[in-house]
Structure 1
Amino acid sequence: MPAWRLRDFHEDDLDQAVLVWDQSRPPGEQLPVFPVSEVMAAARSGQPAVVAVAGEELVALAVAQAHGERAWVLLIALSARWRRRGIGSALLAELERRLREQGVRRICALLPEGGTGTQALLNSGYGGREGLVYFEKVSHGGAAEAGLLAELGGREQPPGLWEALAGMEREKEVVERRIVLPLAEQELADRYGVAPPKAVILFGPPGTGKTSFAKAVASRLDWPFVELFPSRLAADGEAGLAASLRDVFADLAELDAVVLFIDEVEEIAAVRSGLAVDPGHGVTNELLKLIPGFREHGDRLLVCATNSVRSLDPAFLRPGRFDYVIPIGPPDPVARAAIWARYAGRAAAGVDLDRLVAASGLFTPADIEFAARKGAQAAFEREVLHRQGRPAGTEDYLSAIADTRPTLTPQAITEFEEDIARFTRL
């Protein structure tokens, strides 16, 4: 065999380095603590990285990362046929020299038990510490993914949104069983032959909480949330909108996980007329073609919401594209009481919730939030003027209800009930 020598890691070493890393792990060895993408990013950013070459062949590499006075050895990889030649120890010695020049005093390494590089560490005077357990919590999205998420207008949802959905217990139970649990317990679902959903439709009157449900699902799953606004995609007509849809879905494919939410989806998936000049024909076709590709990826969920499910194209609604079509209706009396209690806050203890529930029969959660805020504002203004120390009460909220136009009408309720019978798929 030719002699080997050490040199710096070069940018064009990347492909060979990944190959050596892959070949250096014996079958069945646990995955390394530091993934290869993180290691190569450190090497390319100027962290200490050394390779061993024999002729033009890269046969080993070692990469470290310094953090003040402590450094971590991220990777030691040796081609199988070049082991037991002192290369690993030489790589470590060179890393140590460079790290000492940076002021590092403590050098650490985390390897799978018996993993590649263990013997080199022992030969170089490193001591193992028994009785330690490695803990890890993985969050979706690194810096690059965060940048892409920001470009898409997406964000991580705060925890607790699911619990904050006051009332709406019927809807929460359905969404929990059909959507959340199969995605949160994917290994268990697979064992029982349950395919986690990839796309669902939420339908119901305006203001019933469809957007809140989508965000709460993202919060429960700890997945990023991206909302796509059809009206903002493009100003170039049908062709521009279709192209923008393709671009957005291509970007989404780069994310590890995502909940994609499209509100008022009827804007881009309405019933097609069948005429060649139909202005929405191409956009609807494009979305229909994009959904199967979206479904092929791992941790992702498409949630489409509509106030008018009957206006959606039948091809858009069919099984195979959407796993479930779920109604999100107006709150029943029990749910309205819970919503009033939430928005009335500390004043709720002195309020007759039964009267508020009875007076707000056609109110959506959004209507109740508005009326509660309006009642609280009236009490606040009264206190500013009279300083009586009297909090918002039942009469304040009843007055606010009387001054609030409900979103729902008896006709809207009737149509929603008809839609439930016709379109629901659970």
Structure 2
Amino acid sequence: MSGIRIRDFQVDDLDGVLHLWEQAHPAEPVYALGEVIASCQKDHAMIAVDGEQVVGAAVGRAAHAQGWIVFFGVLPLYAERNDGLGARLLSALERRMAPLGLGKLSALLPATDQHLDDYLSASFTLKQDLHYVERTVPVRRETLAVLQELGGRMPAPGLWDRVGGMTREKELLELRLVTPLSHPEVAARHGVVAPRAAMLFGPPGTGKTTFARAVASRLGWPFVEVFPSRLAGDPRGLAGGLRETFARIEELEHAVVFIDEVEEIASRRGGEPPSATQGVTNELLKLIPEFREQEGRLLMCATNFIRALDPAFLRHGRFDYVIPIGLPDAAARAAIWRGHFPPAAGDIDLDALVDATDGFTPADIEYAARRAAQASLERALPAERDGATADASPDPTPSDPDGPTTGDYLAAIRATRRTVADDVAADFLADIDTLARL
């Protein structure tokens, strides 16, 4: 022990700390190597050396009045001596951080960590019945500015679960897109190649954009929506603006990229003279193969008019899946209706609402629900026929606690014009047979 001394970290110790990490860190460390190196250089680190060899290290950082040990390790040969080196290192780190006025010095230990006795010898207390949870932040600080410039954002967690009904569509997206991308190792063992691009098609108002956001939320990836109309004013032209946007997206570690109403920039080419968007279509057809070469990204496009797309756009090798998003069935409509009932709603005949909204889109149901809620609110306000005036009652308050009734909802349904006509719905079913790729 006489040859071992403990001192502050020096830059020349970095290789020794790397060797120590390889030899002494647990199989599943709480802090990554990059964080440990950063704390050695910027926070607080004590090093044990035997001659010139680094044989132990204790690294800590402060967060307000609490200190955290981000790495502690002793080479196995020296740890086996059981001569108190580990406890000395921890005590030296505590003294080094004492001027910070810390109230606590804590450590998170994986179950496989071999240094618990060293902590106990240094007067640390083992806390029982604690659980360690973590969530990886998908957008690092260095790429946050790029995401903001692209107009992207992180979708709210849990958005997937808030999509009412549409069970078949959700199961399909989960199996085809989410699972291979979130568990690539498992997918690879079964010979499944993670998808890079998917097309959603169906009548307007069926929730294609919502599903794209929900997939991003389910993956925990940033969501970047590309608006061709906004790129039209780019000095490089629409095609140039599109290429520059995809080039910036390459700077993100992960991303779900979404283009809605993609038929506007990928319509059928041909004609004399060529259409004004033909150059943009050509550019997009070039960009998709380049995009597919990048891991950790998913391109999702949506169209209301899949027949208008250029045939080359849907060819194998560009889109892995062409997925129909249709009108909600009875079970889906029931789930969507339940999501729109307010707490004050009484005994609602859900079956009657489901039957009355056959052929409605989720957006149609949402509109009818809002209309019924407004009718209920207006009925609850004091009526002028009872003698109340605006001056006498400048701030009328609701007097009806029951909320919307079945009658309110049925009346709102009758007043709602369906988004999808019967012929459009029939064309969609035909398109599933001829164009869907699941």
Question: If the length of structure 2 is used for normalisation, what is the TM-score?
Answer: 0.74
Aligned equivalent of 2:376:
379
Contact kept? 1:73, 1:108, Cα under 8 Å: yes
| Secondary structure in structure 1 of the residue aligned to 2:434 | helix
> Contact 1:68 / 1:103 at 8 angstroms: preserved in 2?
no
Which structure 2 residues correspond to residues 385-404 of structure 1 after superposition, within 5 A?
Answer: 385-386=382-383, 387=399, 391-404=403-416
Name the CA distance, whole Å, in 2 between partners of 1:113 and 1:391: 53
Equivalent pairs: percent with the same residue?
46
- Structure 1's unaligned 5+ residue stretches are none
TM superposition shift of 1:115: 8.1
1:30 matched to 2:27? The reply is: yes
Instruction: For residues 120-162 of structure 1, give each alpha carbon's deviation from its aligned partner in whole angstroms, at most 9, with x where no partner exists.
Output: x78x958796999873423233651555544443333334433
CA distance in 2, matches of 1:159, 1:32: 26
Greater mean alpha carbon deviation, residues 343-352 or residues 199-208: 343-352
| Cα deviation, residue 288, structure 1 | 3.6
* Equivalent residue, structure 2, for 1:266: 263
SS at match of 1:34: coil
Cα distance in 1, alignment partners of residues 181 and 323 from structure 2: 17
CA distance in 2, matches of 1:210, 1:277: 30
The 3-state SS of whatever aligns with 2:326 is coil
What is the match of residue 68 of structure 2?
A: 72
Aligned: 1:251 with 2:251: yes
Preserved contact between residue 208 and residue 329 of structure 1 (Cα < 8 Å): yes
Q: Provide the rounded CA distance (Å) in 1 between the counterparts of 2:366 and 2:124.
A: 61
State the shift of 1:229 in Å.
Answer: 2.4
d(CA) in 1 for partners of 2:199, 2:155: 20
Residues 48 and 99, structure 1, Cα contact 8 Å, conserved in 2: yes
> Which residue in 1 is equivalent to 2:213?
215
Secondary structure at 1:273 match in 2: coil
Q: Which moved more, 1:224-233 or 1:67-76?
A: 67-76
Assess, with a 3 A threshold, how the Cα gap between structure 1 residues 233 and 42 changes in structure 2: closer, same or farther: farther
SS state at 2:229 partner: helix
Q: Residue in 2 aligned with 1:322? A: 319
* Alignment match, 2:394: none
1:417 matched residue in structure 2: 429
The count of aligned residue pairs is: 413
Equivalent runs, 1:13-412 vs 2, <5 Å? 17=14, 20-24=16-20, 25-26=22-23, 30=27, 32-43=29-40, 46-49=42-45, 63-75=59-71, 95-104=93-102, 107-108=105-106, 135-141=132-138, 144=141, 145-146=143-144, 148-233=146-231, 235-236=233-234, 237-252=237-252, 254=253, 257-273=254-270, 279-346=276-343, 350-386=347-383, 387=399, 391-412=403-424
8 Å CA contact 2:224, 2:256 repeated in 1: yes
Alignment CA distance shift 1:249-1:281 (3 Å)? farther
Higher alpha-carbon deviation: 343-352 or 168-177: 343-352
Given the superposition, is the C-alpha separation of residues 333 and 115 from structure 1 closer, same or farther in structure 2, using an over 3 Å criterion? closer
* Partners of 1:183 and 1:197 within 8 A in 2: yes
Residues 105 and 388 of structure 1: CA distance in aligned 2, closer, same or farther (over 3 Å): closer
How far apart are the structure 2 equivalents of 1:21 and 1:113? 22
1:20 Cα deviation (Å)? 5.0
Question: Against the structure 1 CA distance between its residues 383 and 266, is the aligned structure 2 distance closer, same or farther, given a 3 Å change threshold?
Answer: same
CA 1:97–1:131 in 2, change beyond 3 Å: closer, same or farther?
Answer: closer
- Following the alignment from structure 1 to structure 2, what is the Cα–Cα distance between the partners of residues 417 and 271? 21
